[in-house]
Amino acid sequence: MKERRLKKWWLIRLALTIIGKKGLKELDKVSMDGRKAQTETLRSILEYAKDTVYGVEHHFGEILKASTPEEFFSLYQKYVPVNEYEDLRPYVERHKSGGSNILFPGKPKLYATTSGTTREPKWIPVTERYYQEVYKKMNALWLATLVLAKPRAFYGPFASIVGKAIEGAAPDGTVYGSISGIMQRDIPGFMQAIHTAPAAVFKIANYKARYYAIMRMAIERNTHGIITANPSTLVEMQKNANEFYDEYVNDIEKGTLSHIFDISDEIRAELEPQLKPNPKRAKELRELKAKYGDVLPKHYWPDMQVVNVWFCGNTRIYFDKIKNSFPKDCEFNEFGYFSSECRAGLVLKTGIQDTVCFGHKIYFEFIHESELEKETPVITQMFDVKPGQRYCMLVTTSSGLYRYNMNDLLEITGYHNQFPTLKFVQKINGTVSLTGEKLHERQFIEAVQAVEQVTRRKVAFFVGFADVNNSNYRFYYEFADQSITTAEAEEFTKLVDAELQQYNVEYKEKRASDRVKAPETYLLGSESFEQFKSKCIDQGFRDGQFKLNLLMQDEKRHDMFKELIKQAS
């Protein structure tokens, strides 16, 4: 195994400390003047792309003639519209077919694919410039923040759960895949030893087999950290451990990879040479099971230093299901606000949710939530947003996204000098409206949590769907106590309904007039979310990108939950 190489932990720590201090010094310097940073960032991007098809069509050359920042920003808003992905898709398609100099100079280095608002996925171009300036530099600084927060973080390996680096190619041969997988693939050579599993693991197609391989390798090691975007992945890892613990132990003892799982011969050929018999660790793991029965991460990973994962927005529900399974001194580090389209910045301190916007890498604009439904909303510059207020973010990047609407509701939490800090609240499309009530996902979550407190009935998972045909909402609950009856659940829903009327005056009015009818109640069986996620992964969703709004108007997903309803009792 790789443990001998990990004796060089001091080299990793030294390198990351140097990178971290240098990056933080640069951030502190440029963030002293937000207006200057944003002007220089936007000017650099437009200079870069002024001779492209998009740049010519949208008068980048004319914009660049502006003599003041105010004129510069104003001309940019005048000539360049706010874009959804579908507005940019025709340009991306030209790149995919071999076109150059369409959205940016040349062709993209790769595409990051992600789900979109239509049946067709989004193909997010990543230029070489963006990859080097944003992903690589920001990634190095992010790893450095882990060392600065937990100096012993790299005394042992990390379990990183990422997507498959290369999944295929566009018609012109440009590859597409998971940006997290590519970043792990391209990590500096001296840091390769930190990973508990090689990249080949993430090529395993079968959902359960992939988790088995990840955990079989991670549980053998004295793992010090976990990096995964979605906390539901942590839940799934523990579920796999509960189900196959004995199989892990046998494999670790013999240095094998179980054949009860569907893993191709090609991938096995990459993995098996790295596995060696480890009877000492197998003995330790058997003793843990004999002592504790239900073995948790805090038992087999007692030196776990940091878990880097989302716990903002609705991901908090899944995070809360697993956080107490880890050692008490383990730090949970918020992954921060980012997506396939844009890595907006970094969380610089463990234990908080605030992402510092990197105004020297991305050009940001904001629309206050009160302006979202207006035809011509007021645009607020990055350095003028107000703490405590909520906005939708527009980004301009060197990867060909211009005034791109992230469709996320974000709360400004403060400032790092003149660069704002923010946290994710919810997807703006997490707002559902049957007849003008504009019910927010966050309102639904808080209503259920409030009723949990009143009734003392713990809900392991819940989800709501708008039923346009019946003009009502359907609420699905997986209660921790599976003996709760339908009648009892319906009483729970009545209280949720009452809470929602307190939170949302429009909902209260529509309920009073019967324009929105009383919500319906359905009981879900045990591990309903895990079953739903498994089906989605089988249909092609990637773990790191898997997201579920808890209040939706989505009949395809609604039908999947209908299949998980318990028999009425």
> Percent of the chain, pLDDT > 90?
62
pLDDT category, 414, cuts 50, 70, 90? very high
Q: Taking the domains of the chain in order of start, what are their residue ranges?
A: 5-9+129-334, 433-562
Is residue 101 helix, strand or coil?
coil
Model confidence at 207: pLDDT above 70: yes
Q: For position 433, what pLDDT does the model report?
A: 83
For tokens 């959205």, the residue is 103
Half-sphere exposure of 258 (CA within 13 A, CB side): 23
Model confidence at 545: pLDDT above 70: no
Per-residue pLDDT averaged across 27-35, rounded?
Answer: 97
Count CB-CB contacts under 10 A for residue 569. Answer: 12
Q: Between 35 and 197, whose confidence is greater? A: 35
The beta strands (E) that lie in 458-513 are given as 459-467, 472-479
Q: For position 1, what pLDDT does the model report?
A: 40
Q: Mean pLDDT over all residues of the chain?
A: 90
pLDDT category, 347, cuts 50, 70, 90? very high
Six-digit token string for 539: 């249909």
User: What is the maximum alpha-carbon separation in the chain?
Assistant: 74
Rounded (10°) angle between helices 505-512 and 486-503: 120
Model confidence at 308: pLDDT above 60: yes
- For domain 433-562, the CATH architecture is 2-Layer Sandwich (3.30)
Q: Between 290 and 316, whose confidence is greater? A: 290
Query: ∠ CA(336), CA(556), CA(525), 5° rounding?
Result: 80
Q: For position 569, what pLDDT does the model report?
A: 46
